[in-house]
Amino acid sequence: MTGAAISKGHVFVVAAPSGTGKTTLCRQILAKDKGLELSVSHTTRKPRQGEEDGVHYHFVDTKRFRELVDADAFLEHADYGGNAYGTSWNAIDQPLSEGRDVVLEIEVQGAEQVRNRQEDAYLIFLLPPSLTILEDRLRGRGTDDEDVIQRRMALVDRELEAAKHFDFAVVNDDLGVAVEQVLQVIGAVRDGREAEVSAHRREPVLASWESKAGRG
């Protein structure tokens, strides 16, 4: 079970509709802030070319994943695109107990579970500049078939609804700007200067995004 109650580091969750750019952004924030560690998730998905067990994911079969769920080994877990994904307590407890901050790059349902189970986690929602640009990015990435892209776009309304439970929101328009904004949030939380990043709190960012990007 968890040792999170005695933790010293912070948990930062970065979640977003698929294609917004969370993988791209997390790679950059981890390269720039050496105090951050990426949580390595479990998944039942098969490794892609170049992916290593224990580095990119802990690759397990469905039976093992189910055993871990039954043993309450996960802080959160969710099904996504036909595969199961989960963040184990083990993935976060060691870095946290050693005072290191952990980043969870996960999809939105899992982030909502973190909200309920780890109240002191900081949830950062990454927004696309608009839904049209989101669809363009999914297509431009070239990793998904058209039906997968349409299924991912169909989830977006519900994902945006979930953004209301997040602490902070950042629009990933210019990548460099978004990276700096997320790093500012992380730095401020670490140093107890959260008031200085109130402009990045979810409420004003979502209000401005909805008025500009709308839902179309």
In the complex, what is the shortest distance from the CB of residue 99 to ligand ADP, in angstroms, rounded to a whole number?
Answer: 28
Q: Is 31 exposed, middle or buried (0-12, 13-18, 19+ CB in 10 A)?
A: exposed
Residues 4, 96 contacting (CB under 8 angstroms): yes
Picked from ligand 5GP, ligand ADP, none, the partner binding residue 76 (CB below 5 to 8 A depending on kind) is: ligand 5GP
**Residue closer to ligand 5GP, measured from CB, 182 or 188:** 182
State both tokens at 124: 């950062």
Q: Which amino acid is residue 28, in one-letter code?
A: Q
List the x/- string, 43-72, binding to ligand 5GP by CB under 6 A: --x---------------------------
Binding partner selected for residue 107 from ligand ADP, ligand 5GP, none, CB under the kind-specific 5 to 8 Å limit: ligand 5GP
Residue 140 binds which entry of ligand 5GP, ligand ADP, none, with Cβ cut-offs from 5 to 8 Å by kind?
ligand ADP
- Could you give the string, one character per residue 105-134, with x where binding to ligand 5GP holds by CB under 6 A and - elsewhere? xxx--x------------------------
* Selection from 133, 167, 143 nearest residue 49 by Cα: 143
* Tokens describing residue 171: 């629009």
Question: 93 is in the binding site of which of ligand ADP, ligand 5GP, none (Cβ under 5 to 8 A by kind)?
Answer: none
Q: Give the one residue of 87, 118, 172, 181 binding ligand 5GP; rule: CB under 6 A.
A: 87
Closer CB to ligand ADP, residue 39 or residue 172?
172
Pairing of strands 74-80, 42-43: unpaired
186 strand-pairing partners? none
Residue 201: strand pairing partners? 168
Buried b (16+ CB within 10 A) or exposed e, 47-67: eeeeeeeeeebbbbeeeebee
Looking at the Cβ atoms of 4 and 178, the one nearer to ligand ADP is: 178
